[in-house]
Structure 1
Amino acid sequence: MDEKTYVQLYGILRPLIEKETTQMREPISAHERLTATGAKYMELQYMTCISPQALCKIIPETCCAIYQALSKDYLKIPEPSKINDLPYVFVADEAFALRPDFLKPFNVRVLNDQKRIFNYRLSRARRVIENVFGSLVSRFGSFPISNPSQSLKTTRQGTFPMWHVCGLTQFLTRNASQSYSPPEHLDHEEPVSHEMQDGLRTDSPHVANIAHGQNRNATEEAKFVRDQFMVYFNTNGKVPWQDAYA
């Protein structure tokens, strides 16, 4: 981020991360707490002259402060509800079992026109997600998880690890988009042909492979939800170009 954006973020976080000076010791400053990120703890020890023991404490505290300060304005998580009688769902691929809250493609061996269009629309949504995670990895480093649900587990500080990154990403995208995420960094769609062009984002080895789930038997409810989306993509939610590219 540029200096102006950093100063803005520092002003937001300073009341939450600044510690009082006592007769016993001088605290690590709010500036040092905010900038002590972006590398391994042992590397940061030499860059910041802060002990690994202190870094192990202040970095999680600062991450929680980022979430606390930015979540209201930059992480507006909606309550579970339906849109056009369709539920909120996760977009998944073949690695996951079909669930009422997880959409995955139809098997290619049983495709008809409607199912093919559903798979096409789902793949477009997944490309957006791949862009997001590719951008997160390129900016923030590794996400060493074999199951994405692990990123939603609470920590001792009571917040979700991935949410710190999401909140900061939303902040930077809104306030420093040209330096944080320029247009050429992400995949983009040609306005006339609707063909997708790869951006500078590339697949990163830092993203762990997702292991196939053990329970592969989908419930009738899960199949019903997927069928609802299939019908929507072929009726009210249809886009003009999908027949040509599915």
Structure 2
Amino acid sequence: MVRALSKYQKIGIVLAATAGIVKKRKKRKCWIKQYLLLRDKLCNMNILSVLEPEDFRNYLRMDSAQFDHLLHLVTPYIQKQDTLFRDSVSAEQRLVVTLRFLATGNAYHDLKYSSLISEPLLSQIIPETCWAIYRCLNNYIKMPETETEWEETAADFERLWNFSHCIGACDGKHVAIERPPESGSLFYNYKGFFSVVLFAVVNANYEFLYVQTGTNGSVHDGAILNSTNFYKKMVTNALSLPQPSPLPGTDTIVPYVFLGDSAFSLNRHFMKPFPMKNISKEKRIFNYRLSRARRVVENAFGILASRFRVLRRTLNQKLENVDAIILACCALHNYLKKFAPKYITHKFVDRENTTKATFRKGDWRTITDGLTPLQHLSDNQRNTEGNEVRDKFMKYFNAEGRVSFQDKMVNVVSI
């Protein structure tokens, strides 16, 4: 006869069965990969001291003196403190990996093997250092603030590019990005990819006077200029531009002007080419002269993307980090243009041989520069005052302001 177990007997059986079971602890994962602990011995920092000057310049886009100066400037903004758990990544290492990222555009999972810095940490270091670079170098991107400074800019355009009363060349480029989350088609441009627009004003020496980035790629290209702070100041006479004055050797008074291509609207301070349909020789001459001076901004963008090849990639970053990358590249461009004699070579930029009537494209044009031009507007836009100013320049370039080579070059250079 089998007797039923009481509830206390059942509890005792359960306790006895579980008494000998030791709860297994979950094996703790290593909080850092072992090879990352060897950063001081194996990372790319160790080869910098033995690189030849040319190799050092190719690796970081600047020589050691410029690197040391830049490191001195940014260190207060990027230096971190060591802790009891680990040593921090030094300011020098942070700057090196950021400059290498800007120079190559390599992905974080690639850079981690040369820098021995983890991907999550790189995703913090690089944007932070880009902002620090821009913060320290943005004074090299400076619009003239007085009439005298504007007149000096105009003198450079007249001396180098034979365009009187020109104070800047303007253009905009689409920079490719991955579609931001929950943005729909907001950043989808006419070329069929997602982008933000970089707008710039450049002087006669390929230096940025003004840059603005972050405008979403779906904005109509004709409205890009109108959305900038630069345009708002221009139309409200807040740029301290010199008063209109006579063209050299004439009594024809014209305002000082910026130059752009057909993507922009015409007004009294902004010149663009004549439409090519049924164009006269006089208008073709004007278009050539404008194109000759305006090419400085195309070449500036080409040099920028050639030196900092991150701009040839599709940026997979948060929008604020995209702005940091673009602005850091522009600031570095002006900084190196000023202090690095070999930053721009003759092969890099477009060159005209006016004696032989030949035109050689800059090396940056032989490959895709990663920056897509704005879409050209239709030729239906009209501005009465802008047309009057443009006609005055056209007549001047075909009379008192003509240059000896323009009749030959107008048939050689694409305008």
Question: TM-score band (shorter)?
Answer: 0.7 to 0.9
State the Cα deviation string for residues 161-208 of structure 1 (Å, max 9, x = none): 533212101111222222x22233322344756754334333332424
SS in 1 for 2:364: coil
Q: How has the CA–CA distance of structure 1 residues 126 and 16 changed in structure 2, closer, same or farther, with 3 Å as cutoff?
A: same
Q: Which runs of 5+ in 2 are unaligned?
A: 1-61, 146-238, 245-253, 411-415
Q: Which runs of 5+ in 1 are unaligned?
A: 147-154
Aligned twin of 1:181 = 344
Aligned twin of 1:241 = 404
* More strand per residue: 2
Q: How has the CA–CA distance of structure 1 residues 136 and 230 changed in structure 2, closer, same or farther, with 3 Å as cutoff?
A: farther
The 8 Å contact of residues 145 and 208 in structure 1, kept in 2 or not, is answered as no
Moved more, 169-178 or 184-193: 184-193
Q: Distance in 1 between matches of 2:354 and 2:72?
A: 40
- Structure with bigger RCO (C-alpha 8 Å, 6+ apart): 1
The 8 Å contact of residues 259 and 294 in structure 2, kept in 1 or not, is answered as no
Give the count of matched residue pairs: 233
Q: Distance in 2 between matches of 1:82 and 1:160?
A: 30
Q: Alignment partner for residue 114 of structure 2, among 33, 38, 47? A: 47
Q: How has the CA–CA distance of structure 1 residues 141 and 118 changed in structure 2, closer, same or farther, with 3 Å as cutoff?
A: same
TM alignment of 1:48-197, pairs within 5 A: 48-72=115-139, 74-78=140-144, 80-83=239-242, 84=244, 86=255, 89=258, 91-93=260-262, 96-100=263-267, 103-143=271-311, 156=320, 161-178=325-342, 180-190=343-353, 195-197=358-360
Q: How has the CA–CA distance of structure 1 residues 144 and 200 changed in structure 2, closer, same or farther, with 3 Å as cutoff?
A: closer
Aligned-pair identity (%): 29
Q: Distance in 1 between matches of 2:122 and 2:270?
A: 37
When normalised by structure 2's length, the TM-score is 0.48
Q: Distance in 2 between matches of 1:12 and 1:196?
A: 41
Greater Rg, structure 1 or structure 2? 2
Q: Distance in 1 between matches of 2:403 and 2:349?
A: 24
The 8 Å contact of residues 117 and 234 in structure 1, kept in 2 or not, is answered as no
Q: How has the CA–CA distance of structure 1 residues 241 and 21 changed in structure 2, closer, same or farther, with 3 Å as cutoff?
A: farther
SS in 2 for 1:76: coil
Q: How has the CA–CA distance of structure 1 residues 59 and 11 changed in structure 2, closer, same or farther, with 3 Å as cutoff?
A: same
Q: How has the CA–CA distance of structure 1 residues 52 and 62 changed in structure 2, closer, same or farther, with 3 Å as cutoff?
A: same
* More helix per residue: 1
RMSD: 3.5
Aligned AA (1:68)? R
Following superposition, the deviation at residue 119 of structure 1 comes to 0.9
